[in-house]
Chain A
Amino acid sequence: MAKKIILPRVAKGKNLVYLDDNSVDNILAMVMTLTQEISVLTDRLNTIEHLIAKNGQIDLDDIDNFEPDYQLQEKRSERRKSLLKRVLLPIEKALDSK
């Protein structure tokens, strides 16, 4: 078998510190990635629900071939934004003027 190609996932550049130190920055980055994975799980579950509601069962290939229509995409987008709003509430509050 040919050697697996691995693409780089980290950009070269200055290391900037935003919050108290790099470890606080790293934790926030990890929280956002976990939030992203919760969103992926929720969408996957939603796809499975739709497939079962329609076909009564699922074929694993159907998951990758599932294409949500415009309405469902909008609904998912709304749900992702409300997830983000809840996760990022402390930061949103900190930015409120009063």
Chain B
Amino acid sequence: MNKQKHSMQPIPSHDEAVRQDFVTDFRAFLTDELYPKITPYYKSRIEPEFIKEHGRTPEDKMEVQNVMVQDSAYQSWSFLQRISQQMMFTSVIDTVERTLEDLIKKTKEYSTLGSLELDPAIQIPRYLTAYDIHQQPGGYHMENTKNDISAGVVYDISLPIYSNDAMGDENDLLAQATINFIKNNINTMPKKILDMGCYIGNSTLPYVRAFPESEVHGIDVAAPGLRYAHARANALNASVHFSQQNAESMSFESNTFDIVTSCLFLHETSHAAIPKIINECARILKPGGWMIHLDVYPFQRSVVEPLYDFLKDWEVTNNNEDFSGALREMDLQGIFEEAGFSKETIEFTSAEASSETNKGYTGDFYLKLPVYVAQKMA
């Protein structure tokens, strides 16, 4: 049951640990036992009713949504899914709250490698303060005490529960996929790498290991994540330069990075922020440098079955991920071109992680991941 994966993580008490285990099993139960029933249920019970009334099948996800939210069986599953996320957070927060003071003290010992630069004057963008993204109480940025790291610790120890242990001991499966993509498709030995929206650095550290000669930077707006990221990187013996910056307007010099990357970041910003962030990527990259964003949703507007389209959006409405649906409707190709990325190099494709790092998980959700790639004009 050893839940402590590195020395900056807290050790749960007996009851806290098994309370967290319950949430893991609850989520697995919902995914394995109840979720597979939804499509057959819809086909045999919901759709026929719709046809009876309208003389045709639903045209789009909105029409599916209108009937599904009226259905108590579907809504029961949906509600259980939503509260499983809340139970995940409350079950890890007990551990973090109990151990927080000691953990904060420990960050002092774990501070020699790399660097940490905070900006107390930074403005947290409204899209991060309006509501708590994916229902983490207090969001990414809330400060509950001096030198707080609690939100970062909560993120680190809830990821294995969220992913049913698919992310690997260092929660880095997704970044491993991006690195595979870089090694297989981009012929480069990067000297300087930036990870935007790095938070606790779980997706940043793999770059230090994959490109030991390079200088690796991570930026985020949320201080509790960055403080923890720096201590965590030290606990895991990796040197990263973390700084508190808004990706919409960064202090890095122009033309200085070989690779700018992000992981699960773009879908948590906003309509107005996206072009600014992409412009910043173009500005700080060297001519010929590469931008690679890994995100949850494939970026193509193919026609999909309305039911599938509706279910795919579950997190948007039910897990406080409001922008992730809208991102898919944006003209990223146009925004990339406008920013100065060369048209022929822009690709919305996927990166693959190997299943070595996770416990036999084989579904696409964690192994084949959408990436948005482009090269700055030389």
Interface residues, chain A, with chain B CB atoms under 8 Å away: 2, 5-14, 16, 18-19, 25, 28-29, 32-33, 35-37, 39-40, 43-44, 47, 63-64, 66-68, 73, 76-77, 80-81, 84-85, 88, 91-92, 94-98
Contacts and interface: CB of A to CB of B under 8 A. Distances in A.
B140 to A, nearest CB: 12
B243 to A, nearest CB: 25
Interface stretch (B75-83, B196-204, B256-264, B289-297): B75-83
A16 B22 contact: no
Interface string B280-322: 0000000000000000000000000000000000000110100
Contact of B132 (A13, A16, A76, A84): A13
A8 B22 contact: no
A39 B22 contact: yes
Nearest to A6: B97
B37 A95 contact: yes
Nearest to A67: B1
Interface of B: 1-2, 13-15, 18-19, 21-23, 25-26, 28-29, 33-34, 37-38, 40-41, 43-45, 72-80, 82-83, 86-87, 89-91, 93, 96-97, 100-101, 130-132, 135-139, 142, 144-145, 150, 154, 317-318, 320
B72 A84 contact: no
5 contacts: A9-B90, A18-B79, A28-B83, A36-B26, A76-B18
Contacts of A40: 15, 18-19, 22
A95 B77 contact: yes
Nearest to B153: A7
A91 B76 contact: yes
B79 A96 contact: no
Closest 10 pairs between A and B when the two form their complex, measured CB to CB? A18-B79, A13-B131, A11-B132, A94-B73, A43-B18, A11-B135, A97-B44, A95-B37, A80-B25, A8-B137
